[in-house]
A and B are shown apart, each in its own frame.
Chain A
Amino acid sequence: DADVTQTPRNRITKTGKRIMLECSQTKGHDRMYWYRQDPGLGLRLIYYSFDVKDINKGEISDGYSVSRQAQAKFSLSLESAIPNQTALYFCATSRAGNGYTFGSGTRLTVV
C-alpha cells in the first residue's frame, strides 16, 4: 500500500458542483499539505496543516477549503468548482525539518 493515498485518481465534474478530494497517510507524519500543479507554474500551495487543530492558508486558498479529520486524513473541498480549477492536485506529508512524501495525485477536470 502507498504511504500517501489520494482518492479519486481522476475526476470530471461540472461547473458549480461541490467536490471533495481525499488524502490519507500511513507515514505517521504530523504535517499535511495540498498543492495544485499547473503546466509552467510548478506546484502551488493551497492549504497546510501541522496537526488536527491547525489549518493554514497557502498561496492560492481562494475557492478551496480543507478538513483535517484525523492525523492521517486531510481532505480538500471545492465548494463550487470552476473551470480554472482544472489541475493536478497533490497531497503531501512531512515531519518537521524533513522533505515531503507525495501522493500520486488527483487529476481534476471541471467542465
Chain B
Amino acid sequence: AQSVAQPEDQVNVAEGNPLTVKCTYSVSGNPYLFWYVQYPNRGLQFLLKYITGDNLVKGSYGFEAEFNKSQTSFHLKKPSALVSDSALYFCAVRESGANNLFFGTGTRLTVIP
C-alpha cells in the first residue's frame, strides 16, 4: 500500500531565509512523487514531480525537491522564501502501476516579513 507523511502541520520561516517542507513516503515499487501548492480559496496547483532521473528536481516559482531513495523522502526546498510563498503545500505519491495519487495531510507554510 502507498502512503505519504508530512510530519509538520505548520512551518514558519523568515522572508529571505531558506525553507524546507518535509515529505516521506512508502510504496511497494518505484515511486512517482509530486508537490502541489494551494493558495486560499483556490485549487491545488502543480509545483514539480519526480518520475525518474536526477534526484534533484526543479519546479515552478523557484522551488526544488530532492528525491532520497534510502530515506524515502522528497523534501521541498527553496533557497530564499518570499511572503507570497505562504500557502498550504501537499506532497503526493503514486507507485508505478497504481491508479491514482495518494496525498499527504498538508503543511501550512507561513513566511514572515
Cα of A43 to Cα of B88 in the assembled complex, Å: 12
Q: Interface readout for B21-60 with A: 1 if CB under 8 Å, 0 if not?
A: 0000000000010101000011111100101000000000
- State whether the Cβ of B100 lies closer than 8 Å to any Cβ in chain A: yes
For A42, give its contact among B32, B41, B45, B105 (CB under 8 Å). B105
Majority-rule SS of A interface residues: strand
Q: Beta-carbon contacts of A13-44 to B below 8 Å, as 1s and 0s?
A: 00000000000000000000101000011111
**Shortest Cβ gap from A3 to chain B (Å):** 10
CB-defined A-B contacts under 8 Å, sample of 30: A4-B43, A40-B9, A40-B105, A41-B105, A42-B90, A42-B103, A42-B106, A43-B90, A43-B103, A44-B103, A45-B102, A48-B99, A48-B100, A50-B99, A58-B100, A90-B43, A90-B44, A92-B44, A99-B34, A99-B49, A100-B34, A100-B36, A100-B44, A100-B46, A100-B101, A101-B46, A102-B36, A102-B43, A104-B43, A105-B42
